[in-house]
């Protein structure tokens, strides 16, 4: 049973990765009648694969997208890259030779700093970026919980006509996952990065929920300092509007998500590698190239890397 009447001639989707977002999107694409295949890192996960279980407010559902590895020879017409930021380029490089000349490639990662390299990897294919506030996690392999409904912004990278994103959005499971085409996805990426720089690493360092950043005490004092510095760096980098809006925008996100644990705090608590190099790390690299000080963000990067080293090196 599927949600939409997707024409059987519609190009198939390939979803790169087998984690939370990959399973959420692959199951939702399958539910919408699309032909969809997951691309796993290697063959070791094939044995355990019997389809995807998707749990949501509507209950549990089971879907059976195909599962392949990068060695498969099938050409790829539509690709959704659902790895972490630090794996995206390697994963894309491994299957770039399979992209059809007019393929659409969508990068769905938090963070910045790898998109221009991705552009050169995809050759003649069209590159898009997606920024998602959907919440999903996997209690077991190929079993995904859709924990929070959100919105996914989709735009051509580098900036291109909104019609391109609108056309691609129609090929996504929009009845299940809200997709909003935008003109300038890079602007949205900077906006999200700015807020993430002020909340994610700080909550991971203090081991606190987002709302603690608004209370009196050390996290609140550091939050004010990191907001001030991040806004100054963004201003120096020419992102004037985002810089001006940042203190209010970050405060509003911390207030609205007061009880939540940021994704970086969740990564640290689960002893996983974080995406720090593509969030505060990216901002520091840009600041350094512009010869602008970025002391507080640099300290946050060091603190997170020290935490990671404590558990990843064991």
Residues annotated as catalytic are 192
> What are the helix (H) ranges across the chain?
20-31, 85-95, 115-121, 162-170, 185-206, 218-236, 240-256, 263-269, 280-289, 295-312
Determine the interface stretch with ligand NAP among 1-9, 12-20, 186-194, 204-212 (rule: CB under 6 A): 12-20
Q: Is 238 exposed, middle or buried (0-12, 13-18, 19+ CB in 10 A)?
A: exposed
> What is d(CA 260, CA 169) in angstroms, rounded to the nearest whole number?
29
| Site mask for ligand NAP (CB under 6 A), range 115-154, x = bound | -----------------x-xxxx-----------------
To ligand NAP, the closest distance from the beta carbon of 200 in angstroms equals 10
Q: Which residues contact 174 (CB under 8 A, 6 or more apart)?
A: 32
Contact call for residues 262 and 282 (beta carbons, < 8 A): no
Return the residue of 4, 11, 19, 72 that touches ligand NAP, per CB under 6 A: 19
Q: Does 17 bind ligand NAP (CB under 6 A)?
A: yes
Backbone angles phi, psi at 241, to 5 degrees: -65, -45
Q: Does 28 bind ligand NAP (CB under 6 A)?
A: no
Nearest residue (CB) to ligand NAP, 231 versus 281: 281
Determine the interface stretch with ligand NAP among 102-110, 172-180, 181-189, 251-259 (rule: CB under 6 A): 102-110
Q: Is 186 helix (H, G, I), strand (E, B) or coil?
A: helix
> What is d(CA 133, CA 140) in angstroms, rounded to the nearest whole number?
22
Return the residue of 13, 14, 21, 177 that touches ligand NAP, per CB under 6 A: 21
Q: Does 18 bind ligand NAP (CB under 6 A)?
A: yes
To ligand NAP, the closest distance from the beta carbon of 42 in angstroms equals 7
* Chain position whose Cβ is nearest to ligand NAP: 19
Using alpha carbons, select from 65, 59, 79, 56 the residue that is nearest to residue 33. Answer: 65
DSSP type of residue 29: H
Residues between 253 and 312 that touch ligand NAP (CB under 6 A): 263, 275
Nearest residue (CB) to ligand NAP, 231 versus 274: 274
**Residue showing tokens 């963000």:** 297
Return the residue of 11, 33, 51, 94 that touches ligand NAP, per CB under 6 A: 94
User: Binders of ligand NAP: how many residues, by CB under 6 A?
Assistant: 28
> What is d(CA 18, CA 142) in angstroms, rounded to the nearest whole number?
7
Q: Which residues bind ligand NAP (CB under 6 A)?
A: 16-22, 39-41, 82-85, 87, 90-91, 94, 108-110, 132, 134-137, 263, 275
């Amino acid at each position: 049973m599927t949600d939409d009447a997707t024409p059987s001639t519609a190009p198939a989707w390939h979803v790169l990765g087998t984690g939370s977002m990959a399973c959420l999107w692959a199951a939702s694409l399958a539910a919408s009648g699309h032909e969809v295949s997951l691309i796993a890192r290697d063959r070791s996960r094939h044995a355990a694969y019997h389809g995807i279980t998707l749990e949501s407010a509507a209950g549990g559902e089971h879907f059976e997208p195909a599962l392949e590895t990068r060695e498969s020879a099938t050409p790829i017409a539509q690709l959704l890259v659902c790895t972490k930021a630090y794996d995206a380029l390697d994963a894309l490089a491994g299957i770039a030779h399979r992209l059809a000349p007019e393929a659409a490639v969508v990068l769905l990662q938090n963070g910045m700093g790898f998109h221009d390299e991705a552009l050169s990897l995809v050759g003649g294919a069209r590159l898009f970026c997606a920024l998602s506030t959907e919440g999903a996690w996997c209690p077991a392999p190929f079993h995904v919980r859709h924990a929070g409904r959100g919105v996914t912004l989709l735009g051509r990278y580098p900036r291109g006509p909104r019609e391109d994103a609108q056309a691609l959005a129609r090929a996504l499971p929009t009845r299940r996952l809200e997709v909003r085409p935008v003109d300038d996805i890079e602007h949205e990426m900077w906006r999200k990065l700015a807020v993430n720089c002020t909340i994610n690493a700080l909550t991971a360092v203090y081991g606190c929920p987002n709302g603690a950043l608004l209370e009196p005490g050390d996290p609140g004092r550091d939050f004010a300092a990191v907001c001030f510095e991040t806004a100054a760096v963004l201003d120096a980098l020419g992102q004037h509007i985002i810089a001006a809006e940042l203190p209010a925008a970050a405060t509003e996100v911390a207030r609205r998500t007061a009880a939540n644990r940021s994704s970086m705090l969740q990564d640290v608590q689960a002893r996983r590698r974080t995406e720090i190099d593509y969030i505060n790390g990216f901002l520091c690299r840009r600041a350094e190239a512009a010869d602008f000080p970025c002391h507080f963000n640099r300290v946050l990067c060091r603190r997170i890397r020290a935490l990671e080293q404590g558990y990843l090196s064991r």
